[in-house]
Amino acid sequence: MLIYGLLSLLGLVVIIHLIWFMIFKRTFTPVLMYHRVTGDTKKDDVRFIIHKGKRLDLDSMKVSPTNFDVQMAYLKKKGYQTLDLKKDFHKPKTVYITFDDGYEDNYLFAFNSLKKHGLKATFFITSELAIKGLFMPIDSNDKRVENRLLTTNQIREMSEAKMQIGSHTLTHPWLTHEGVNIEDEIIKSKRELEEIIGKEVTTFAYPGGLYNDKVLELVSKHYDVAVTTSLGESFRKKDETPYTIERETISSTDSLLMFKLKVWGVMKFIRKHPLIGLLKKVIKWLLRK
């Protein structure tokens, strides 16, 4: 009986904290992560890969052009501003929209929608794959036109239309793995992109969100900011540095309500709140008994 009383008390504390957080939610600055904007789907035999020890559905990384447009319309209607990612990125009523991998569908669908709503975004490009017209490693068994990456001309056009271009390495390796030339992947990719767009490239995205101390040191020497692929371990702002900016993934199954909850920071709050973690553990333990 006592345990249920304690559980209710914990739940109440979390709810009060959530209400407090919602009222002051303007302190949360969402950095949204997209990969692809397309209605295309993969065949089952090339749809799933193993990533970080987990089965990853590549189609979950695709947001349909219609859903993307609805999401952008919401941001516009609610008066959110979109900016280039910079060191001091925590700003009121601001959303950062970012894309990893540089698929051509970013140009074909996302770019148009962003222009239509007067919004801007950051596109993280794997420079050598773009320059050579190659496919992403995860599409090595699915080289259809639908999986093409942006061309250098498209990247230039997007940059000229005030979209921010960032580096996502040369070839998209896991930077923490042995045998990877991290100097080239981090520094040469910056130079190659700068040559394409004729502007300085100041932002970086770690492929797969993977980094270690050596990678962090190199990135911080050559870029102003860098983004990861996860929400990190905590919702506390002070745990984040300009080189480990956490992002909220927008996936194919997100409804507009879920998108709003992510923009407001509610999903991050729920996933990372230490008391909710504790509550889940206690409930699991009770169910096992």
Residues that bind Zn ion (CB under 5 A): 100-101, 207
| Of 126, 102, 123, 98, nearest in space to 188 by CA | 126
Shortest distance (Å) from residue 10 CB to Zn ion: 38
Shortest Cβ 205–Zn ion spacing (Å)? 7
CB of 172: closest distance to Zn ion in angstroms? 6
Contacts of 155 (CB under 8 A, 6+ apart): 102, 123, 125, 130, 165, 193, 196, 197
Nearest distance, CB of residue 101 and Zn ion, angstroms: 4
Q: Which is nearer to Zn ion, 103 or 235 (CB)?
A: 103
Q: Compute the Cα dihedral for 253, 259, 263, 266 and give only its sign.
A: negative
State which residue, 101 or 254, has the beta carbon closest to Zn ion.
101
Q: How far is the CB of 79 from Zn ion (least distance, A)?
A: 31
Report how far residue 209's alpha carbon sits from residue 101's, in angstroms, rounded to the nearest whole number. 12
Identity of the residue, 69 or 100, whose beta carbon is nearer to Zn ion in the bound complex: 100
The answer to whether 255 touches 67, Cβ cutoff 8 Å, is: no
If the CB atoms of residues 123 and 269 are measured against Zn ion, the closer one turns out to be 123
Which of 102/265 has CB closer to Zn ion?
102
Least Å distance between CB 118 and Zn ion?
A: 27
Compute CA distances 243 → 30, 111, 172, whole Å. Answer: 16, 26, 18
Nearer to Zn ion, 101 or 248 (CB): 101
Strand ranges inside the chain, DSSP E: 31-34, 36-37, 48-51, 54-57, 62-63, 81-82, 94-100, 122-125, 164-167, 203-205, 225-227, 248-249
Q: What is the CA radius of gyration of the chain?
A: 20
Integer Cα distance of 220 and 245 in angstroms: 12
* Residues constituting the chain: 289
Residue of minimal Cβ distance to Zn ion: 100
Output the smallest distance, CB 207 to Zn ion, in A. 5
| Token couple for 42 | 């993969």
Instruction: With beta carbons less than 8 A apart as the criterion, state whether 228 and 211 touch.
Output: yes
Closer residue to Zn ion (CB): 100 or 185: 100
